[in-house]
Amino acid sequence: MKKICPSILSADFSILAEEIKKAELSGADIIHCDIMDGHFVPNITFGPDIVAKVNEITNLPLDVHLMIENADMYIDSFYKAGADYISVHAENNFHINRLVNKIKSLGMKAGVALNPATGIQTLDSIIEYLDFVLVMSVNPGFGGQKFIPNSIGKIKDIKRLISEKNPLCSIEIDGGIGPANIKEVSDAGADMFVCGASVFKAPDAKSAIIEMKRLINN
């Protein structure tokens, strides 16, 4: 079953608990938490303490997307905070195999995230160990950006790689996803859809999620 993963980056932080409940009641499958450190990306968000609070508010699985330097130092903290999925970026982590093993050894699902300009050859020697690949379809750092069209071809290429080497691996797409493009992205092979603005800035989050689910599950 394909999954809608609202990103709380686009939520109103002054009423975060209500926003998360709204997403949950609207049919969200997973809550996506964007962790930014002002070094790997030009923005700063929040850390494990907030993720732990999010975990108290919802029963949905938490998907923690680490856009930070020294990710290895924080895996334990996000695990303790309640993360179910953790993705680390290919561009700034030298010991991806060790990181992925660490995430999986704690019982979480491990993913590798690729920036828009990062080629998929970087997955060759790690794909067989991954639970998911996160394809960034915007340059990471901010919500509400425009989908970069060549991400579609990239998803198709990753789908081919996955069918050969690890058919159980999922593909998550992150950035600029909404009702206008979700079907094409889904048909290309994506299974998990991060939706920031298209859920939290929608006039009605519930109808937005229902519509997107209709588009990807038919």
Active site residues: 34, 174
Burial (0-12, 13-18, 19+ Cβ within 10 Å), 143: buried
HSE at residue 140, side-chain half, CA atoms within 13 A, is: 32
Give the residue with the Cβ less far from Zn ion, 139 or 165: 139
Kind and range of the H or E element at 41?
A: none
Looking only at residues 101 through 130 of this chain, which bind ligand DX5 when binding is defined by CB under 6 A?
Answer: none
What is the contact surface with Zn ion in residues (CB under 5 A)?
A: 34, 65, 174
Q: At what angle do helices 16-25 and 48-57 cross, to 10 degrees?
A: 50
d(CA 43, CA 171): 25
Give the residue with the Cβ less far from Zn ion, 8 or 205: 8
Closest to 194 in 3D by CA, of 49, 1, 29, 12: 29
Give the residue with the Cβ less far from Zn ion, 34 or 131: 34
Looking only at residues 127 through 166 of this chain, which bind ligand DX5 when binding is defined by CB under 6 A?
Answer: 138, 140-141, 143-145
144 binds, among ligand DX5, Zn ion, none (CB under 5 to 8 A by kind): ligand DX5
The residue ranges that bind ligand DX5 (CB under 6 A) are 7, 9-10, 32, 34, 65, 138, 140-141, 143-145, 174-177, 194-198
